[in-house]
Structure 1
C-alpha cells in the first residue's frame, strides 16, 4: 500500500521512520465514509421475548429440540473523520446489539447469517431497488462467545468443565461496499459508534461490544473519501468525533441534532 502523507502534521521536524514493522500482518481493510451510505426505516420488529427470563426459557426450549443454538452477528465498519465507526443497533434507548441473530435450525451458517442481516438491515420498497437479497460480504470470524448454561453469562472461551454449551455466538467482520442502502426497524436506532467510545466501556456496552476494538486491532485501515480516493491510513487524523444516530427510533432525522 502506498504511503499517504498526513496533512494534519505541522511540525518542521521530520519524524524518525523505523524499519518495516508489518510482518505477518492481516490484510489492510479499506473503509468508506459514513456519508456514502443511505439510511432509512422500515416496519417495527418487536422483540421476541418480553423479559430476560423469557429469553432464557426460549433458549432452553431450543436446546431441547435442536441442541446448541448458533448465533451470528456482524461487525460493520465505516469511517468518519478517518476514525473507524461500528454500525450498531439500539433498542429501547438502552440496549445495544450488533446486527444479526440466532440461526434457524435448518440454516447453513453463512446463508442463514446473511438472511438474518437482511431481516435487520435490508431496505424495503423503493429505497431498496437495485439491492440483492443476501448481498453481504462476510469476512473473518473475529470472536466466539460461549454460553455454558441457561443464564445470561457468556465467555470468550468454553469453560473446561462444559461439554455441552447451550449457545455459541460468532462475530464476523462484514466488508461494507463503497455505497449501500440500509434500513432499520423503526422501533430501533441505527448508530455509528466510534471505536474509542467502545474501548474499555464495559459499563455501558457490556463485555462483548466493548471488546470490539481489541478484535479489530489486528487490522490496519485505509480511509477513502466519497470518490474512493485514499486520504489517510492508520493512524487516523484525531479530529473531534462523536456517536451519530443514523436512522430509526421513531424520530425524525434532522440536521444539527446528532443524526445523519
Structure 2
C-alpha cells in the first residue's frame, strides 16, 4: 500500500492554482494616484531610550513581532519596490508591530490602511509570507534565520507579498515620502537600504513577474 500523497497531474486545478500563486501581476506606476494627509508624530527618544522601551515591552509581552509589506509596480519595463522614506534618509517597507492577540495578516492590513490609505477602506490582498528576520538581542543586527544558540529571540520581522489592484489611491502622511525604487537598485544594496530591504529581490526570485498594461 502506498501512503505517499500523489502529485497533481499537469493541467489539474492544483497545478493551475500553484502556477497562479507563483505569478505576480504588476501594473504601471501611472495607474496609481497619490495624495497626502496629516503628518504622524515620531517619538523623540535616544537609542538608549528605545532599547529600554523594547526591554520593558519584551518583559511584558514577550517576543516582538513586526510585519512588513512587499508592494511592486512597473516603471520603465522594470519592477519597482514601494518604500516609505522617513526624514529624507531612512527607508522602510510599509508595516509595523503586531499588537498582543492580533494576527499577522490583520496587523498588516491595519498598518497598510493607516499609512497608505486615508479612508480606511483599502483592499489589501496578502499573498504569503516570503521571509523572516530575527533579532537575537536588542541590537540592530538581524539574521535571515534564527541562530541555533538563541533560545529567546527578541524580535521577528515577517515580510509578506501583497498584490496591488490594477488601480488605487495612496494617501501618505506628509512627513513620509512614498518612493518606487527599481529592484536592481535595491538588490544587495545594504549600505543604503539595510539587510532586510536589500534582500527582497532574492526572495522574489520564486515568482514570475508579469507586467499588465492598462
Give the TM-score normalised by structure 1. 0.72
Deviations 1:124-152 (A, max 9, x none): 4xxxxxxx635211112111001111111
Match of 1:87 in 2: 82
Relative distance call for 1:136 and 1:65 in structure 2 (3 A) is same
RMSD (CA atoms): 1.8
Match of 1:176 in 2: 164
Higher relative contact order (CA 8 A, sep 6+): 2
**What SS class does the counterpart of residue 217 from structure 1 fall into?**
helix
Relative distance call for 1:65 and 1:179 in structure 2 (3 A) is same
Q: Which has the higher helix share?
A: 2
Match of 1:156 in 2: 144
Match of 1:78 in 2: 73
In structure 1, the gaps of 5 or more residues are 1-22, 125-131, 227-260
Deviations 1:30-50 (A, max 9, x none): 111111111111111122353
Q: 1:96 aligns with which of 91, 94, 98?
A: 91
CA distance, structure 2, for counterparts of residue 163 and residue 117 of structure 1? 31
CA distance, structure 1, for counterparts of residue 143 and residue 173 of structure 2? 29
Moved more, 180-189 or 105-114: 105-114
Deviations 1:24-66 (A, max 9, x none): 8962111111111111111111223533333222211111111
CA distance, structure 2, for counterparts of residue 167 and residue 209 of structure 1? 17
Matched, 1:193 2:181: yes
Match of 1:108 in 2: 103
- 1:86–1:194 contact (8 Å) kept in structure 2: yes
In structure 2, the gaps of 5 or more residues are 1-17
- 1:141–1:173 contact (8 Å) kept in structure 2: yes
CA distance, structure 2, for counterparts of residue 24 and residue 133 of structure 1? 30
Q: 2:126 aligns with which of 138, 149, 153?
A: 138
> Between Structure 1 and Structure 2, how many residues are aligned?
197
Matches within 5 A, 1:1-260: 27-48=22-43, 50-124=45-119, 133=121, 135-226=123-214
Poorly superposed stretches of 4+, deviation over 4 Å:
23-26
Using the TM superposition, give the Cα deviation of residue 171 of structure 1 relative to its aligned residue in structure 2, in angstroms: 0.4
Match of 2:11 in 1: none
Give the TM-score normalised by structure 2. 0.86
Deviations 1:158-184 (A, max 9, x none): 111111111110000010001111111
